[in-house]
Structure 1
Amino acid sequence: MAIALQFAGFDINNLRVSVSPLSELMAVLHVLAEPDHHFESSAKVQAIARNLDDRLIAEFNALSPLWARFRARFFFPVSTEPKQNLDLELAGMAALPLEAFVSMAAEAIRGFSKDLPAAQQLLRDEKVRREFLDTCRSRSLGRFELAEQLLNDPEQFRQRIIEFCLDCWNSFFKMEWEDLALTVGRAAAQLAGKLNQTDPIATIASLSVTAKAFRGASEVRFDKLQQRRVKMAERELLLVPSHWIGNHLTVKDNAGYPVIVHFPAQTRQEDLLQIHQMRGRLSALSADSRMELFRHISAEPMTTSELAVRLGQPAAQISRSLRVLREAGLVVSDRHGKLVYHRIDTATVLRMGPDLLATLTR
């Protein structure tokens, strides 16, 4: 599955790179809501959580569907004009047409955008409203309560979100942003420079290891658990760097607003595994014979001949098994004089759990 950005007819003048403190705040809230998916930030998450008061924690828990798996679109810039100031971005959220705000909130509360009724129907059609509330209730009581408040008084709901963001700013995010603004600003400047010098399609594809550029089709495809094709002709595209997003990347393409690509500012993409690489590692360990061999060299480095004697297998079979494990990145072979010793790559094996989670959730 993939989100494909189709650039045929795209005006390069509609491409911008921008820093967004509101999007970064949303990324922090997302990590706080789903710490198991962001193990690399666990220490910082715990430090922030310890400093939150009970009232803010209660409001965070109640509103968390808005930034959990499906991030609400209103946390991202609503125009390509640079607004590197939280107050200005919150003013942009406050100025959104009511129906646009309701649609953005409703899709985040429900948790997916497929076949979302129009805002007018949600607000005025009793049958549509009831079906939407029933869907939210089937997901969780918290989602149902948020959906009910949204439809009963959308302006009060919007004000609740804005006030929560300001409380977060005063509680912890102002200091966090002071530390991060330079990092994400530098990433934005570097990307803008790269876009001026190289092929934009290739540059956009370089934002994620999950992306592929198809120059013949003028298309970039991001491997995501969604299936969408976004025609970029007459659309604006805004690339927003983030520190807290970790290895993840988010694409938002709500009609009438810039397409957003929210990408990691610092992650070394060449160090991230693609799905086929993780599949290869799991496959390499799936055979009983290779797992037994793997267990022996986890205890001590051994030569092919030593393994053949210990396992009672022909040396050629041992060599084939070692090759599979080595190609999967799980085994290292070191020459000492005339002998070659095989050992497990301990660092790679220790990372398999976190790597698997990161690969699945990107």
Structure 2
Amino acid sequence: MSVTIDITGLPQERISFCPSPLAELGAALHALAEPAHHPRLHAWTTTTAAALKPELADRLHEADFMWRSTRSDILLPPRPRGTLAEELDDLDRMDDEKYVGSALEISCASHYTHGAPSPLVNERMRRRTLDLAAARGPRQVAFVERMLADPPGTRAWIRRLLEDCDEAFFADTWRRVGVQLAADARHKSELMRRKGLAEAVTAASAAMVLEEDEWGSRIVVDKLVQERTSAEGSGVTFLPTAFGWPHLVALHTPGWQPVVQYPVPTRDLGGPATTEAVKLRLEAVAHPLRMRLCRSLARGGYSTGELADTHGITAPEVSRHLAVLKKAGLVTTQRRGRYVLHQLDVSVVARLGSDFLESVLR
């Protein structure tokens, strides 16, 4: 499964890598709202949350459906600017229907691929928006009601909220991470210029590839959804993020320029496993006999005959189970003299939990 962005005929100059203060603020707010998604940021989320003034914390809670379970499209600008203020100015120029429909993305999840009418002009979407907000509590119902009744006033309230976050903690954070993100964007841009888009896309994330054939060109983002969009007439923007891991966000709203927010590389973990690899590994270790084989293989190298004798099964049965484990990348094999020894790749198994978490959060 994947999000596919059709870029057939799109000039390379319409594809850009650039940091965005607004997108990074959105990622930071998500990390504050869902710290369990971001164990690497534990120190930052704990310290920042503890330092928030109660009034600001309350306002963030009031509007957090814009970045908690999903990221509203308004937080992923297709044309990044140098400052948060400039990006907020661009948001101010967006018409009310588009802004409200995107801000209240909770209301259009099932309509996202085909485009949902704005709750400002469609009564059914208005009722749906209020019903979904009600599931998130009375404070968010009140906020949604206010946005539907007074879009200009609520938009001004949201801008003040983001500006207050900038003053309280984000400006200092951006001074530290903005340099890193700008350097990453320059590196990807140079890589695209020298070696082509395929190299730059793969360097941004191992969960993305460029596919080209006689039918055209497309960027494929490995996600647990199946969606398509086109960059025709617009372009594609890649936004590096320091706060985003493990999420790989792909904006594919009809009529919007596609935007991909990718986490910058980290040294402590390898590249992300594909969703297919995670599925194979979970299926491989779910079998009770293969679990018992893994117990032996975790302790050292064993031949097929030794495993058959230890577990009271035939050598062909062992070979079949080993083939499943090897296909999933969980077992390594090496020859010693006339024996072939199999051993569990403990480092891959140790990552299985985090790979699964990353695949469902990506």
1:222 and 2:212 equivalent? no
Conserved 8 A contact 1:15-1:237 = yes
1:3/1:329 Cα in 2 relative to 1: closer, same or farther (>3 Å)?
A: closer
Q: How does 1:179-328 map to 2 (within 5 A)?
A: 179-200=176-197, 203-204=200-201, 206-216=203-213, 217-254=216-253, 257-267=256-266, 271-298=271-298, 300-301=299-300, 303-304=302-303, 305-328=305-328
Deviation at 1:29, TM superposition (A): 1.1
Alpha-carbon distance between aligned partners in 2 of 1:346 and 1:5, rounded to the nearest angstrom? 36
Q: How does 1:140-159 map to 2 (within 5 A)?
A: 141-159=138-156
Alpha-carbon distance between aligned partners in 1 of 2:232 and 2:330, rounded to the nearest angstrom? 45
TM-score, length basis structure 2: 0.85
Alpha-carbon distance between aligned partners in 2 of 1:276 and 1:113, rounded to the nearest angstrom? 26
Cα deviation code 1:254-307 (max 9, x no counterpart): 466533121122258962111221122122212222211222344x32533543
1:140/1:117 Cα in 2 relative to 1: closer, same or farther (>3 Å)?
A: farther
1:343/1:49 Cα in 2 relative to 1: closer, same or farther (>3 Å)?
A: farther
Pairwise CA RMSD of aligned residues?
A: 3.0
Within the candidate set 78, 82, 85, 2:83 is matched to 85
Deviation at 1:358, TM superposition (A): 0.6
Q: How does 1:348-359 map to 2 (within 5 A)?
A: 348-359=348-359
Q: Which runs of 4+ in 1 moved over 6 A?
A: 334-340
1:31 alignment counterpart: 31
Deviation at 1:324, TM superposition (A): 3.4
2:101 alignment counterpart: 103
Aligned partner of residue 291 in structure 1, secondary structure: helix
Deviates more, 1:197-206 or 1:349-358: 197-206
Cα deviation code 1:156-175 (max 9, x no counterpart): 21122212212222222222
1:129 alignment counterpart: 126
Aligned partner of residue 308 in structure 2, secondary structure: helix
1:180/1:336 Cα in 2 relative to 1: closer, same or farther (>3 Å)?
A: same
Deviation at 1:116, TM superposition (A): 5.9
Percent of pairs with identical residues = 27
Deviation at 1:206, TM superposition (A): 5.0
Aligned partner of residue 221 in structure 2, secondary structure: strand
Could you list the runs of 5+ residues in structure 1 that have no partner in the other structure? none
1:163 alignment counterpart: 160
TM-score, length basis structure 1: 0.85
Alpha-carbon distance between aligned partners in 2 of 1:124 and 1:316, rounded to the nearest angstrom? 66
Cα deviation code 1:48-91 (max 9, x no counterpart): 2232232222222221110123211222225x3x5221222222
Alpha-carbon distance between aligned partners in 2 of 1:289 and 1:226, rounded to the nearest angstrom? 32
Aligned partner of residue 237 in structure 2, secondary structure: strand
Conserved 8 A contact 1:205-1:220 = no
Alpha-carbon distance between aligned partners in 2 of 1:316 and 1:262, rounded to the nearest angstrom? 47
1:352/1:149 Cα in 2 relative to 1: closer, same or farther (>3 Å)?
A: same
Could you list the runs of 5+ residues in structure 2 that have no partner in the other structure? none
2:20 alignment counterpart: 20
Conserved 8 A contact 2:297-2:344 = yes
